[in-house]
Structure 1
Amino acid sequence: MSTRERAELSAHLTEKEQEARNIRRLQLMMSMVMSVISQDGNLTVEEASELVAGARRAALAMFPDKELAYDILYRPRLQRLMNERFRLQ
Protein backbone atom coordinates (compact mmCIF):
# COMPACT_ATOMS: atom_id res chain seq x y z
CA MET A 1 0.00 0.00 0.00
CA SER A 2 1.46 3.32 -1.07
CA THR A 3 1.67 6.40 1.12
CA ARG A 4 -1.02 8.07 -0.98
CA GLU A 5 -3.37 5.10 -0.55
CA ARG A 6 -2.78 5.13 3.20
CA ALA A 7 -3.54 8.85 3.36
CA GLU A 8 -6.78 8.37 1.41
CA LEU A 9 -7.79 5.46 3.64
CA SER A 10 -7.01 7.51 6.74
CA ALA A 11 -9.05 10.47 5.45
CA HIS A 12 -11.95 8.15 4.63
CA LEU A 13 -11.86 6.61 8.11
CA THR A 14 -11.69 10.05 9.67
CA GLU A 15 -14.79 11.13 7.71
CA LYS A 16 -16.63 8.00 8.81
CA GLU A 17 -15.55 8.52 12.42
CA GLN A 18 -16.71 12.14 12.32
CA GLU A 19 -20.06 11.11 10.88
CA ALA A 20 -20.44 8.45 13.58
CA ARG A 21 -19.65 11.06 16.25
CA ASN A 22 -22.21 13.45 14.77
CA ILE A 23 -24.85 10.72 14.69
CA ARG A 24 -24.19 9.86 18.32
CA ARG A 25 -24.23 13.55 19.27
CA LEU A 26 -27.58 13.98 17.50
CA GLN A 27 -29.06 10.94 19.24
CA LEU A 28 -27.90 12.20 22.63
CA MET A 29 -29.23 15.71 21.98
CA MET A 30 -32.64 14.43 20.87
CA SER A 31 -32.81 12.13 23.87
CA MET A 32 -32.06 15.03 26.20
CA VAL A 33 -34.65 17.29 24.54
CA MET A 34 -37.29 14.59 24.80
CA SER A 35 -36.40 13.94 28.44
CA VAL A 36 -36.69 17.62 29.35
CA ILE A 37 -40.03 17.95 27.59
CA SER A 38 -41.47 14.87 29.26
CA GLN A 39 -40.04 15.41 32.77
CA ASP A 40 -39.92 19.16 33.45
CA GLY A 41 -43.26 19.99 35.04
CA ASN A 42 -42.62 23.74 34.86
CA LEU A 43 -41.96 23.76 31.12
CA THR A 44 -44.51 25.70 29.08
CA VAL A 45 -45.66 24.67 25.62
CA GLU A 46 -43.85 27.70 24.19
CA GLU A 47 -40.57 26.72 25.87
CA ALA A 48 -40.95 23.15 24.67
CA SER A 49 -41.58 24.41 21.14
CA GLU A 50 -38.41 26.49 21.35
CA LEU A 51 -36.46 23.39 22.45
CA VAL A 52 -37.84 21.44 19.49
CA ALA A 53 -37.00 24.24 17.05
CA GLY A 54 -33.49 24.57 18.46
CA ALA A 55 -32.93 20.83 18.22
CA ARG A 56 -34.07 20.89 14.60
CA ARG A 57 -31.70 23.75 13.78
CA ALA A 58 -28.81 21.93 15.46
CA ALA A 59 -29.62 18.66 13.67
CA LEU A 60 -29.72 20.37 10.29
CA ALA A 61 -26.47 22.19 11.06
CA MET A 62 -24.80 18.82 11.68
CA PHE A 63 -26.49 17.19 8.67
CA PRO A 64 -27.40 20.00 6.23
CA ASP A 65 -29.01 17.91 3.48
CA LYS A 66 -30.94 15.56 5.76
CA GLU A 67 -34.13 17.52 6.42
CA LEU A 68 -36.28 14.69 5.09
CA ALA A 69 -34.56 12.19 7.38
CA TYR A 70 -35.17 14.50 10.35
CA ASP A 71 -38.83 14.87 9.36
CA ILE A 72 -39.23 11.09 9.13
CA LEU A 73 -37.28 10.12 12.25
CA TYR A 74 -37.70 12.87 14.81
CA ARG A 75 -40.67 15.09 13.92
CA PRO A 76 -43.31 12.38 14.62
CA ARG A 77 -41.69 11.48 17.95
CA LEU A 78 -41.54 15.08 19.06
CA GLN A 79 -45.10 15.80 17.91
CA ARG A 80 -46.40 12.75 19.76
CA LEU A 81 -44.50 13.77 22.90
CA MET A 82 -45.80 17.35 22.71
CA ASN A 83 -49.36 16.08 22.21
CA GLU A 84 -49.10 13.73 25.19
CA ARG A 85 -47.33 16.19 27.46
CA PHE A 86 -49.48 19.24 26.76
CA ARG A 87 -52.67 17.44 25.68
CA LEU A 88 -52.71 19.19 22.33
CA GLN A 89 -55.29 18.53 19.57
Structure 2
Amino acid sequence: MNPIVTVQDAVTAFADWLEPTDAELDAIELEMPLIRAEVELLDTQISLLDRPVTEVDTRRVRRARRKVLAACLAVTNQTSAVSEVAA
Protein backbone atom coordinates (compact mmCIF):
# COMPACT_ATOMS: atom_id res chain seq x y z
CA MET A 1 0.00 0.00 0.00
CA ASN A 2 1.31 3.46 -0.92
CA PRO A 3 1.00 6.27 1.61
CA ILE A 4 -1.07 9.27 0.53
CA VAL A 5 0.86 12.54 0.60
CA THR A 6 -0.80 15.83 -0.21
CA VAL A 7 0.74 18.24 -2.65
CA GLN A 8 0.34 21.05 -0.12
CA ASP A 9 2.85 19.40 2.23
CA ALA A 10 5.44 19.40 -0.52
CA VAL A 11 4.72 23.00 -1.51
CA THR A 12 4.56 24.56 1.94
CA ALA A 13 7.66 22.77 3.11
CA PHE A 14 9.72 25.16 0.97
CA ALA A 15 7.55 28.27 1.24
CA ASP A 16 9.63 30.48 3.54
CA TRP A 17 9.26 33.31 1.04
CA LEU A 18 5.47 33.30 1.58
CA GLU A 19 5.80 34.80 5.06
CA PRO A 20 5.27 38.57 5.35
CA THR A 21 8.39 40.64 5.77
CA ASP A 22 9.00 42.88 8.76
CA ALA A 23 8.23 45.93 6.62
CA GLU A 24 4.89 44.44 5.55
CA LEU A 25 3.99 43.63 9.16
CA ASP A 26 4.91 47.19 10.18
CA ALA A 27 2.68 48.58 7.41
CA ILE A 28 -0.22 46.41 8.59
CA GLU A 29 0.33 47.54 12.17
CA LEU A 30 0.35 51.16 11.02
CA GLU A 31 -2.99 50.70 9.22
CA MET A 32 -4.65 48.72 12.03
CA PRO A 33 -6.71 51.65 13.44
CA LEU A 34 -8.14 52.23 9.96
CA ILE A 35 -8.91 48.54 9.53
CA ARG A 36 -10.71 48.45 12.89
CA ALA A 37 -12.73 51.57 12.02
CA GLU A 38 -13.72 50.08 8.65
CA VAL A 39 -14.78 46.83 10.34
CA GLU A 40 -16.88 48.81 12.83
CA LEU A 41 -18.56 50.70 9.97
CA LEU A 42 -19.25 47.43 8.17
CA ASP A 43 -20.69 45.88 11.34
CA THR A 44 -22.97 48.88 11.76
CA GLN A 45 -24.15 48.69 8.17
CA ILE A 46 -24.74 44.94 8.39
CA SER A 47 -26.78 45.33 11.57
CA LEU A 48 -29.12 47.71 9.72
CA LEU A 49 -29.78 45.49 6.71
CA ASP A 50 -32.83 43.70 8.06
CA ARG A 51 -34.71 46.45 9.87
CA PRO A 52 -36.01 49.95 9.27
CA VAL A 53 -33.41 52.64 9.90
CA THR A 54 -34.14 55.03 12.77
CA GLU A 55 -32.56 58.38 13.56
CA VAL A 56 -30.30 56.72 16.12
CA ASP A 57 -29.14 54.22 13.50
CA THR A 58 -28.39 57.06 11.10
CA ARG A 59 -26.24 58.68 13.78
CA ARG A 60 -24.41 55.41 14.38
CA VAL A 61 -23.56 55.10 10.69
CA ARG A 62 -22.50 58.73 10.50
CA ARG A 63 -20.30 58.34 13.60
CA ALA A 64 -18.69 55.20 12.17
CA ARG A 65 -18.02 56.97 8.86
CA ARG A 66 -16.40 59.89 10.67
CA LYS A 67 -14.26 57.42 12.59
CA VAL A 68 -13.11 55.86 9.30
CA LEU A 69 -12.27 59.27 7.86
CA ALA A 70 -10.35 60.27 11.00
CA ALA A 71 -8.41 57.00 10.99
CA CYS A 72 -7.66 57.42 7.28
CA LEU A 73 -6.35 60.92 7.91
CA ALA A 74 -4.20 59.70 10.82
CA VAL A 75 -2.74 56.86 8.76
CA THR A 76 -2.02 59.23 5.87
CA ASN A 77 -0.29 61.69 8.17
CA GLN A 78 1.76 58.93 9.81
CA THR A 79 2.73 57.51 6.43
CA SER A 80 3.83 60.89 5.11
CA ALA A 81 5.78 61.55 8.33
CA VAL A 82 7.52 58.19 8.04
CA SER A 83 8.37 58.77 4.38
CA GLU A 84 9.78 62.25 5.17
CA VAL A 85 12.01 60.80 7.88
CA ALA A 86 13.19 58.05 5.55
CA ALA A 87 14.04 60.52 2.79
Instruction: State if a TM-score over 0.5 links the two structures.
Output: no
Q: Which structure: greater helix fraction?
A: 1
- Which of the pair has more CA radius of gyration? 2
TM bucket, shorter chain? 0.3 to 0.5
